[in-house]
Amino acid sequence: MAIERIFDIAGSALSAGSVRLNTVSSNLANAETVSGTPEGAYRARQPVFASVLAGQVGAQTPQSTGVQVLGIAESAAAPRMEYRPDHPEADADGYIYHSNVNVMEQLADLISASRSYQTNVDVMSTARQLLLKTLELGR
Amino acid sequence: MTMSIDSALSLHADALRLREQRTEVLAGNLANADTPGFKARDLDFAGLLARQAAGQSPGAALAATDPRHIGRSALDSPGSAELLYRVPTQSSLDGNTVDPHLEKAAFAENAVRYQATLMILGSRINGLRTAIRGE
């Protein structure tokens, strides 16, 4: 039966969505962190999504697709430098390195991620309703 | 009057199966709303149901000219449907063609139609039961 697979699909999307929400909150939490070296500066993280076949190949419907997180990519943008010789973290030239998190971008991503999450919760509850109704068939 | 239980239920049972598959496909589209390169897909419901009612298997028929050929029927069981790709109106830069609003609307519509089919099927079953009891 296909309805049960919807739980797998929506579940995979929820799990991927929570990874995305996690990275966004981590990015926002670290938006103001500074470092003494360019390498040590926090870099914005983002999960890489890929679709995955939920059913086995050769099954009745191998077309169903869930989501998986392939990995977490770090932003390659250069960290912002600031001349702050008084800062305890400052390097020999008096510079500190801010994280390269773009707060506006992250907030927009947060809205998008929470909308996707809601959508998948709705899908799951609809599937549950349909399944329960189906169980009552012929009563 | 001759009416078998199978013929009384079969079309709606097929419709229910297709609705179920479509629910799954649309759930997959919604799940992949943010996956780069994902192409939204859907079933041609009316065409599939018409073919199923006519007793044809979905997809093109293949001629087996050699006994070692594997027939299509062995590959896809009845009721399985081939998927079509949705024509994107505004695909995103990462190659994703899922329009969440469109998919949500289709999903809601499909859920309602699933319940409608379920209701019809239920009333058919009740009708048959009444006929059997003869009350």
Helix, strand, or coil (residue A27): helix
A47 touches chain B (CB under 8 A): no
How many contacts does A have with B, using Cβ atoms within 8 A? 103
Closest CA to B30 of A60, A23, A9, A16: A9
For residue B91, what pLDDT band results from cuts at 50, 70 and 90? confident
Q: Across all residues in chain B, what is the average pLDDT? A: 80
| Contact (CB, 8 A) for B81 and B43 | yes
pLDDT of residue A57: 45
Confidence (pTM)? 0.79
For residue B12, what pLDDT band results from cuts at 50, 70 and 90? confident
Which secondary-structure segment (H or E) carries A51?
strand A45-53
Q: Which residues pair with B84 in a beta bridge?
A: B42
Q: Which of A3, A122, A139 is closest, CB to CB, to B23?
A: A3
3-state DSSP: chain B helix, strand, coil percent, rounded to 5? 55, 5, 40
Looking at residues A107-121, what average pLDDT do you find?
Answer: 95
B-chain CB neighbours of A48 within 8 Å are 36
* Domain range list for chain B: 5-133
Give the integer Cα–Cα distance in Å for A41 and B31. Answer: 33
Closest chain A residue to the Cα of B77, Cα to Cα = A60
Looking at residues A59-86, what average pLDDT do you find?
Answer: 83
The CB density around residue B14, as the number of other CB atoms within 10 Å, is: 17
A-chain CB neighbours of B32 within 8 Å are 13, 49, 51, 65, 67
B72: pLDDT strictly greater than 60: no
Q: Distance between alpha carbon B14 and the CA centroid of its chain, in Å?
A: 8
Give the integer Cα–Cα distance in Å for B79 and B17. Answer: 7
Angle at B69 between CA B65 and CA B75, to 5 degrees: 125
Higher-scoring residue by pLDDT: B5, A63 = B5
